[in-house]
């Protein structure tokens, strides 16, 4: 690997011949790449969406097995953070990027802004993006990208006047530089702005211009069509059924946020509180949930059953305990308490819309661990296979739907998943406590009964009981050798 070869790759990528570079990258021995070229190889990888390969190039520097003479530079860490972001390993990416001195590497601020945008944290996103824009040269293309993203954050925060002041001069500048796709994005954001301000004539004009510049982009055209439909709903030129056409296009393009947005606008148009509950319980992002709650006319229930279709429920999974109730033969059975298949079900139940990548699933299943492209995907696939096997064994009308590398739950008719308003993911102690409450209520139980209820060995039961006692979730009563336990009062943690 030489500097000359990197320059050759960069030229090929810039001129639209990246496939040739991708073939070469897939053949190289990453262990033989010189240190000074690794960040350049990683950069080529992220430009070609070979993000796992990029992580392989930089991982020996970012996560070395022994201390390096020269620690990872801010540039190397920033590039690694971007690769993790693109893989969906948001938590690790954020931890890494937040520890980069923003004076050393401005790009970390931009990438933190992107992470915040992906989580609907638009206030945080605007803060990071403003910092990046202040530090980056105004002539830099990425500074223009940052301004477009800042405008999007402002629109979502409903700061319409501020967004207009940013967007109008920005569009002119983008057009002068022939950045037509970015200009099209700006016109689409202006249309959202005008709709928010109730200026429907200007919204229509902006959508016409956006459509002109985004006609070659499938996602861009989807956004334009969506906002045309929303505008038509607001002006009563069409019915809510027109949103179904947008939903069909979004499904084909695997753009789940558009499906969420369609439900949101149908709810705003119809004031259908069932749809409001679906949006609230089916979205993990705190700011979005707060928005739906504040705009709703009702207080949402403490529990909600997620289901598909109108068929009466035959089986219900209580997410917290992992209990599955079969309403046909009146039997009950359980997932193993908070073990990985149960934990995976919790993770996938948090979002009814957006699929999750392998990187995201790894971050949530193996909290605090570092993503490794050589082993992490395999570890996630093993958990996915265990959940699929359990679903098949219990004949549940539930599938793990895989599309474009992202996994989501697809519920069949007759199945419901019971969710709680306040919480969606639970620790093992919380799951065990809830299951013990199901089984024993306020009664005492012994270690053998615990072992059978929680499906663990007797030795493991003693360890877990000790942990639950230290957390004050249980109380213990000993009469000679006869030891028994029961749940602590509700005033203690449960």
The closest of 96, 95, 92 to 76, measured between CA atoms, is 96
> What pLDDT does 140 receive?
86
Provide the CATH number for the domain formed by 428-487 in this structure: 1.10.10.10
> What pLDDT does 329 receive?
67
Question: Where does CATH 1.10.10.10 sit in the chain?
Answer: 315-420, 428-487
- Of 160-169, 245-254, 267-276, which range is least confident? 267-276
Strand partners, 407: 356, 402
Please give, one letter per residue, the 3-state secondary structure of the chain.
Answer: CCHHHHHHHHHHHHCCCHHHHHHHHCCCCHHHCCHHHHHHHHHHHHHCCCHHHHHHHHHHHHCCCCCCCCCCCHHHHHHHHHHHHHHCCHHHHHHHHHCCCCCCCCHHHHHHHHHHHHCCCHHHHHHHHHHHHHHCCCCCHHHHHHHHHHHHHHHHCCCHHHHHHHHHHHHHHHHHCCCHHHHHHHHHHHHHHHHHHCCHHHHHHHHHHHHHHHCCCHHHHHHHHHHHHHHHHHCCCCCCCHHHHHHHHHHHCCCHHHHHHHHHHHHHHHCCHHHHHHHHHCCCCHHHHHHHHHHCCCCCCCEEEEECCCCCCCEEEECCCCEEEECCCCEEEECCCCCHHHHHHHHHHCCCCCCECHHHHHHHHCCCCCCCCCCHHHHHHHHHHHHHHHHHHCCCCEEEEEECCEEEEEECCCEEEEEECCCCCCCHHHHHHHHHHHHHCCCCECHHHHHHHHCCCHHHHHHHHHHHHHCCCEEEEEECCEEEEEECCCCCCC
Buried residues in 196-207 as b, exposed as e (16+ CB within 10 A):
eeeebebbbebb
Predicted model pTM: 0.91
Render pLDDT for 294-313 as a digit per residue (tens, 0 to 9): 998 889 999 999 999 888 89
Q: How confident is the model over 276-292, as a mean pLDDT?
A: 94
- Of 175-184, 336-345, 448-457, which range is least confident? 336-345
CA–CA distance, 133 with 140 (Å, rounded to integer): 10
For the domain made up of 315-420, give the CATH fold.
Arc Repressor Mutant, subunit A (1.10.10)
> What pLDDT does 338 receive?
66
How far CA 207 is from CA of 141, 225, 308, 336, in Å, comes to: 24, 9, 34, 52
> What pLDDT does 238 receive?
80
Render pLDDT for 182-240 as a digit per residue (tens, 0 to 9): 999 999 999 999 999 999 999 999 999 999 999 989 999 999 999 999 999 998 888 88
Render pLDDT for 72-127 as a digit per residue (tens, 0 to 9): 999 999 999 999 999 999 999 999 999 999 889 999 999 999 999 999 999 999 99
CA–CA distance, 107 with 348 (Å, rounded to integer): 31
> What pLDDT does 425 receive?
86
How far CA 190 is from CA of 151, 211, 236, 269, in Å, comes to: 9, 13, 21, 21
**Average pLDDT for the chain:** 93
How much of the chain, in percent, has pLDDT values that exceed 90?
84
Render pLDDT for 36-82 as a digit per residue (tens, 0 to 9): 999 999 999 999 999 999 999 999 999 999 999 999 999 999 999 99
At 491, is the pLDDT very low, low, confident or very high (cuts 50, 70, 90)? very low
> What pLDDT does 136 receive?
81
> What pLDDT does 1 receive?
85
* Cβ proximity of 226 and 238 under 8 Å: no
> What pLDDT does 272 receive?
87
Q: Which residue in this structure is represented by tokens 């037509």?
A: 180
How much of the chain, in percent, has pLDDT values that exceed 70?
98
CA–CA distance, 221 with 255 (Å, rounded to integer): 12
Render pLDDT for 387-399 as a digit per residue (tens, 0 to 9): 999 999 999 999 9
The closest of 34, 118, 47, 117 to 83, measured between CA atoms, is 47
Q: Angle, to 10 degrees, between the axis of helix 180-197 and the axis of helix 160-176?
A: 160
> What pLDDT does 492 receive?
42
The closest of 396, 380, 383 to 341, measured between CA atoms, is 383
CA–CA distance, 190 with 455 (Å, rounded to integer): 57
Strand partners, 254: none
CA–CA distance, 116 with 90 (Å, rounded to integer): 9
CA–CA distance, 294 with 22 (Å, rounded to integer): 48
CA–CA distance, 218 with 53 (Å, rounded to integer): 27
At 330, is the pLDDT very low, low, confident or very high (cuts 50, 70, 90)? low
């Amino acid at each position: 690997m030489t500097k000359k070869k990197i320059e050759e790759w960069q030229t090929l990528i810039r001129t639209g011949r990246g496939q040739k570079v991708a073939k070469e990258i897939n053949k190289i021995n990453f262990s033989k790449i010189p240190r000074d070229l690794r960040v350049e190889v990683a950069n080529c990888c992220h430009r070609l969406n070979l993000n796992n390969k990029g992580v392989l190039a930089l991982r020996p520097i970012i996560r070395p097995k022994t201390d390096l003479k020269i620690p990872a530079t801010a540039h190397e860490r920033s590039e690694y953070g971007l690769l993790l972001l693109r893989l969906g390993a948001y938590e690790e990416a954020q931890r890494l990027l937040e520890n980069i001195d923003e004076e050393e590497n401005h790009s970390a601020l931009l990438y933190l802004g992107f992470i915040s945008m992906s989580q609907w944290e638009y206030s945080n996103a605007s803060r990071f993006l403003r910092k990046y824009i202040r530090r980056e040269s105004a002539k830099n293309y990425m500074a223009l990208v940052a301004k477009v993203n800042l405008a999007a954050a402002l629109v979502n925060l409903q700061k319409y006047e501020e967004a207009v002041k940013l967007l109008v001069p920005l569009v002119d500048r983008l057009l002068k530089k022939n950045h037509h796709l970015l200009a099209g994005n700006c016109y689409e954001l202006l249309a959202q702005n005008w709709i928010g301000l109730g200026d429907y004539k200007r919204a229509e004009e902006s959508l016409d211009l956006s459509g002109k510049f985004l006609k070659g982009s499938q996602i861009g055209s989807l956004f334009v069509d969506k906002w045309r439909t929303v505008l038509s709903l607001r002006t009563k030129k069409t019915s809510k059924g027109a949103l179904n056409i947008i939903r069909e296009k979004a499904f084909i393009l695997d753009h789940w946020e558009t499906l969420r947005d369609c439900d949101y606008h149908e709810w705003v148009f119809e004031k259908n509180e069932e749809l409001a509950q679906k949006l609230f319980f089916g979205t993990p992002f705190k700011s979005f949930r707060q928005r739906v709650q504040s705009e709703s006319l009702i207080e949402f229930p403490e529990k909600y059953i997620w289901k598909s279709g109108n068929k009466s429920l035959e089986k219900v999974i209580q997410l917290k305990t992992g209990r599955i109730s079969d309403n046909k033969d009146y039997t009950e059975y359980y997932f193993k308490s908070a073990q990985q298949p149960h934990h995976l079900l919790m993770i996938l139940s948090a979002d009814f819309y957006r699929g999750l990548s392998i990187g995201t699933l790894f971050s949530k299943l193996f909290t605090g661990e570092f993503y490794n492209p050589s082993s992490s995907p395999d570890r996630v696939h093993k958990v996915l296979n265990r959940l699929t096997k359990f679903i098949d064994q219990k004949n549940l009308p539930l599938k793990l739907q895989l599309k474009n590398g992202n996994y989501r739950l697809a519920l069949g008719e007759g199945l419901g998943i019971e969710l709680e308003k306040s919480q969606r993911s639970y620790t093992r102690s919380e799951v065990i406590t809830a299951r013990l409450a199901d089984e024993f209520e306020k009664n005492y139980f012994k270690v053998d009964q615990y072992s059978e209820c929680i499906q663990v060995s007797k030795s493991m039961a003693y360890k877990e009981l000790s942990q639950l006692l230290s957390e004050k979730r249980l109380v213990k009563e000993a009469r000679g050798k006869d030891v028994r336990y029961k749940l602590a009062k509700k005033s203690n943690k449960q």
